[in-house]
Structure 1
Amino acid sequence: MSDIIEWVLEMEVHAGAADRIQPLIDEMVAATQADEPGALHYEYYITEDRAHVTVIERYADSAAALVHLGNFGAKFADRFFAIFAPMRFTLYGPANDELRAAVAGLDARHQARIAGFHR
């Protein structure tokens, strides 16, 4: 089995905040790509009405996910939560206790891998 950690975060966009989405997301994507080699997959999706956004993230392991969360907290959290209201956070893979604790405030659901493969 692999150590890969994945999560899906589904969010509502706060009323009147839609115009602030793209600049923040562009900044976050650039920073994650430049500063976090353990970030393997980091993509945002938005509904046509710009009312809901989903982010799908994959990290090499719990340590890489914790690096991301540390950077997020230091650089982006205040602006992020001024735009988005988390609705559902699902954490996949062998997350260690530190990672589980770090995302507990998002009412994270955890699902352990029981079978499969990746290439």
Structure 2
Amino acid sequence: MAVLWILETSLDPARVGDLRRLAAEMSEVVRAEEPGCLRYDWHLNEEGNRCHILEGYADDAALLSHVEGFNRRWARAFFGLLKPERLVVYGDPGPEARAAIAALRPVYMPSL
């Protein structure tokens, strides 16, 4: 079953250039190397201080693969640039997937 999420973050508008570079690098690698990633879109508000990232995964295995790669490659740069404020997860990921993203204190919205 697919799992989708929206990660809402804030950032210093002076770092938008850094954000654009990081988003381009991450998007290129994720799209090329993660076939279970169904959606990976970054959105920036006009003021340059809020970024939302929409992600979708075919199943828990795809989500776990993404989190593992993220932690290995980009976690330090990502969290040095962006401050996560809210993660809303749509679907019903299993316990292992939930544990992998627990540090972000997600709000879960299971399917009806």
* Common fold by TM > 0.5: yes
Cα distance in 2 for partners of 1:15, 1:21 equals 9
Question: What are the ranges of 5 or more consecutive residues in structure 1 without an aligned counterpart?
Answer: 115-119
> What is the RMSD of the two structures over their aligned residues, measured on CA atoms?
1.0
Aligned to 1:49: 47
- Aligned pairs (5 A) from 1:91-102: 91-102=89-100
Matched, 1:107 2:75: no
Aligned to 2:59: 61
Q: Percent identity?
A: 31
Aligned to 1:21: 19
Q: 1:4 aligns with which of 2, 21, 45?
A: 2
Q: Which consecutive segments of 4 or more residues in structure 1 shift more than 2 A?
A: 14-19
Instruction: Give the TM-score normalised by structure 1.
Output: 0.91
Which moved further from structure 2: 9-18 or 41-50?
A: 9-18
Larger Rg: 1
Question: What are the ranges of 5 or more consecutive residues in structure 2 without an aligned counterpart?
Answer: none
Deviations 1:59-86 (A, max 9, x none): 1001101100011000000000011000
How far apart are 1:17 and its partner, in Å?
Answer: 2.3
Cα distance in 2 for partners of 1:110, 1:14 equals 28
Count of residues paired in the alignment: 112
Instruction: Give the TM-score normalised by structure 2.
Output: 0.96
Q: Which has the higher helix share?
A: 2
